[in-house]
Amino acid sequence: MSSRTLSYIVYCFTIVVLAATPIFYLGQSVYPYTFPKILFFQMAVELVFFLWVALALSDARFRIPLTPLVKALMLFMGVLVVTAILGVDPSRSFWSTQERALGVTAFLHCAALFVVIASILRALPSRPLLYSSLASALVVVATQVAQLKVGNLLLEENAGLRPGSFFGNPSFLAGYVLFFIFFAVYALAVLYKKESPAHGRARGVKILCAILLLGVFTYSLFLTQTRGAMLGLIAGILVLLGFFAYKPPPLRFALLSSRALYAALLAVILVFGSVFWITRQNSLWQHVPGLSRFQNISLDDPTLYPRKVALTAAWQGFLERPLTGWGWENFNIVFNAHYDPKILEVNYGETRFDKPHNVYLELLVTGGLPLFLSYLALIGALVYESLKSNDRLLSAVALAASAAYLVQNFFLFDTLGAAMLFFTLLGIVDARYGPVSGSREADADAAKKRNPLGIFSARGRAWAAGASAAVAFLLLYVLNVRSMQAAHDEFMGFKNFINKRPSQAIESFKRAIAASTPYAWALKREYAIAVAEAHFYNPDLVSRDEAARAIAAMEEVTREHPLDAYNHYSLIDLYNQTSDVDPSYLDRAEQEGRIALQLSPNRQEVLFSLAKTKTLKHDGEAAIALLEEALALDPNVLDTQFYYGLLLYNNQRPEEGYAHMKKAIAMGRPWRTPYEPRVTANFFAEHGHLQEAVGLYETSLRMRDDPETKLKLAMAYYLTGDKPAAREQFRGVMKSLDITKLSAYQDFLPILRDLGLQ
C-alpha cells in the first residue's frame, strides 16, 4: 500500500469521525445519546490514529512538528494524566461514568484526533472535511426541528420545547452547534475573498447556501434556549467584529474591508445587548426562542441555588488540594463533603453534582493550579498560532469560535460535541501554522526526512499499516465494543424488570457485568439496585439468594470506590429492602450510614434511610431522633416534614404527626406514588380527619385506579355522612370486586344494608 493510498484512507476515516459521531446513538442502551456516542467516537479515533501512525512512519510529510500548540497540548494532557493518577479515584478519572464518559481516556482520544487533523491537513485539502461535517450538522439540526412536531422521533420520549436531537440534552447540542455558526461565517467570508472568482452562478449559489447555513445554525442554537451558549455566541461575535475593526479582512468589496463597518456593527451589538438586558422582562421577548429564558433570571432564583453550592464547593475543594487536585471526574467527592442541606428544597435531582457547571473551576478542583495553568497555556498557544496564520480569515474565525466556546464554559461542563469540535479547530489552526506542504521548503524538508533509515519500503509500509490496524482493532474491541454491548445488556435488564420478567432481567445484567469493561462497577451498582427493589416489591419473583448476590455486588462497588458517599447511602437502602434475606443487613446499614455521614455530613437522604433502618429494627424513638436531626438541618424540606409526620403517626403521636404532614401538604409537597396519599388518608381517617381523608383518597384514585382505595373512599364518604356518594362508590366497587369474600365483609355488611345495597 502506497503512502498516498494510506493517506486517503486516514483522511476518509477522519471524515467518518467528524460526520458520524454527532448522529450516532443507540436506542436500546443506557444513556443512549451519550455513552454509545462516546464509545463510537473512541473506536473511530483509535482506528484512524493507528493508521496515521503507520502513515507518519513511512512518509515524513505526515509527521506533526513540535509547534507551540503541540507542545501546549502535550503539557495539558500530561498534567491531566498525572493529576488523575495522583487523585483520590484514578479509575473514575480515566473512565468517568456511563452518564458522562468524558474521562481522561476520552480527552486522550480528542488529542489523538487533533494530531491526525493537524498532520493530514498540511498535505490534503480541508474542504471535504468541512463539507461532510456541515452535512452531518444539518442532519442534526433537521432532526432537532422535527422533534418539535414529533417528540419521540428518536426515542419514546417527550422532547418538549427544547429538543436535543442526537445529543439528547439541548445544552449539549448548543455547544456543538455553536462552532458551526462560525464555520458558516468562515465559508461565507471565503467566498467574498479578493482572489475568489468574481462572477458565476455557482458562486452565487454557494453564497446563498452559506447565508442559509448561518441562519439555520443560529436558529438551532436559539431553539436550544441554552443561555450559556447564547452568551458565548455574543462573545464570539464581539471578538470577530473587534478583530475585523482592528485588522479588516481582505474581502472583495471596499465596504466589507472597512474598519468603520465593523466598529459600527460592534457598537450596534453592544447597544442592542444593553437595551435587551434592561428590557428583558418585556413581553416582546417572550416570542423569541432562547431570549425568553433571560427574562426572569436572578441570582436569587431558588432553582439556581444548587449550582451556587456546586461552585462554592469547587472553590473550597481547590483550596484543600491546590497543587494536585482531586483528580479528573472526582468533583462528586468534593460536592458531597460540602453538601448544603438547603438544596433538597429544590428537588432530589439537584442533590448529586458530579460537575461544578464551570470548566475553569472544574480544572482547578480536579487538577489544581498545574492543570488550570496548562489549560491557559493551551489557549495562549491557540491565540498565538491563530495570529501567526497566513489565513487572516481563519485567524479571526478561530479566535471568535474559541471565545464563544470559552465563554460558554463558564456556565457548563465540557461535552463530547463541543470538545470534539474544539480539538478539531485546534488541528485546523495548527495545520495552517508554519510552512505547508507544497512549498519549496516543506517539500525539501520532507524529502530529507522520508525513510531516514531506509526501512519503510512498500512492504514495510504495508506491515506498519497492518500492525497499526491490529492494535486499533484490539483496543476498540476491549475498551469500547464490549462496553457498548454491556450497555445494551444493562438496558435489556431494566426493560425486562419493567415487563415483569425478572429471570431474563437478571441474566441480562449478569451478561453485562461479565463483559469485564472499565464500567463494571457501575453495572454492578445498577444490577444491585434493580434486583433489591424487585425483591422488595415481589419477593416471590426474586429469590433470596439472588438478592444476596446483588447485595454482595454492591458491597464490591463501595470497596472499589470508597469515597463516593452515594455508594454508601444507596447500600443502606438496599440493606433495608432485603433485610428479610439476612437480619444482619440492618446492622451493616447502620455502619454504612456512619461512613456516608462522614463523607457527606449534612445530607438528609442518609438520615431518611437510617430512620427506615431503625424502624425495621422496631426502634421508633431512634428513627424519630434521626428525622429531628434532618429537620434541624433545614425545616423547609418538604420530605423531611412528611416523613417525620409518618413516623410520629407510627409511634402513636398522631396530633404531632398530623401537624407535620399537613404542613408538608400545605407547602406543596408533590405525591410521588399513589400509595402516599392513600397511606396519609388512612392515618387521617383513623384519627378523625375524615374530610381531609376523602380528598386524599380521591387524589390517590386519580393517580391509579385501585379497588382497595375505592373501598376506603366509600367508607370515608359514609362516615362523613355523604350517603349518596358512598352508595355510588360501593356500587362501583361491587361491580369489579366480590366484597363478600373479603375478611372485613362482616364489618361492611351493616353499612351496605343501611345504604340499601344488601
Contact 441, 480 (CB under 8 A): no
Identify the pLDDT of residue 286: 78
User: Which amino acid, 682?
Assistant: N
Ranges assigned E (strand) in 144-188? none
CA angle 579/585/589 to nearest 5° reads 110
From 3.40.50.300, 3.40.630.30, 3.30.1550.10, 1.25.40.10, which CATH number describes the 671-758 domain? 1.25.40.10
Residue 444, pLDDT score? 40
Transcribe 348-409 into DSSP letters.
GGGS--SS-S-HHHHHHHHHHHHHHHHHHHHHHHHHHHHHH-S-HHHHHHHHHHHHHHHHHT
Helix (H, G, I), strand (E, B) or coil at 639: helix
Q: Count of CB atoms within 10 A of residue 638's CB?
A: 18
Q: Which residues of the chain have pLDDT under 50?
A: 436-444, 446-455
The whole-number pLDDT of residue 640 equals: 94
Write down the pLDDT at residue 457. Answer: 55
C-alpha–C-alpha distance, residues 663 and 683, integer Å: 15
Q: CA Rg, the chain, in Å? A: 31
Read off the C-alpha cell for 580.
428479610
Distance set, CA 560 to CA 227, 326, 367, 514, 555 (Å): 38, 17, 22, 17, 9
Which pLDDT value is given to residue 448? 46
- In which residue are the cell numbers 366484597 written? 739
Looking at residue 67, the DSSP 8-state letter turns out to be -
What pLDDT score does 198 carry?
53
Task: For cell 370486586, name the residue.
Answer: 737
SS3 455: coil
Cβ distance 190 to 252 under 8 Å?
no
C-alpha angle 751-752-757 in degrees, rounded to nearest 5: 155
What residue ranges do the domains of the chain occupy?
68-433, 671-758
Query: What is the structure's pLDDT at 392?
Result: 83
Distance, CA of 314 to chain centre: 18
Would you say the C-alpha torsion 613, 616, 618, 624 has a positive or negative sign? positive
Assign 53 to helix, strand or coil: helix
Cβ contact 189:159 at 8 Å: no
| Cell numbers standing for residue 577 | 429492602
CA distances for 462 relative to 51, 55, 573, angstroms = 11, 10, 58
Within the chain, how many helices (H) and strands (E) appear? 32, 0
Q: Quote the CA–CA distance of 402 and 53 in Å, as a whole number.
A: 28
b/e per residue, 720-757, with b = 16+ CB within 10 A?
eebeebbbebbeebbeeeebeeeeeeeebeebbeebee
Residue with cell 438541618: 633
Q: How far apart are CA 287 and CA 375, in angstroms?
A: 39
* Residue 483: exposure state from Cβ atoms within 10 A (0-12, 13-18, ≥19): buried
Q: Taking the C-alpha atoms of 164, 170, 175 and 180 in order, what is their torsion angle to the nearest 10 degrees?
A: 50
pTM: 0.90
CB 191 within 8 A of CB 207: yes
Residue with cell 502513515: 55
Length of the chain: 758
d(CA 716, CA 545): 43
Distance of CA 596 to the CA centre of its chain: 25
Picking from 270, 362, 269, the residue whose alpha carbon sits closest to that of residue 310 is: 362
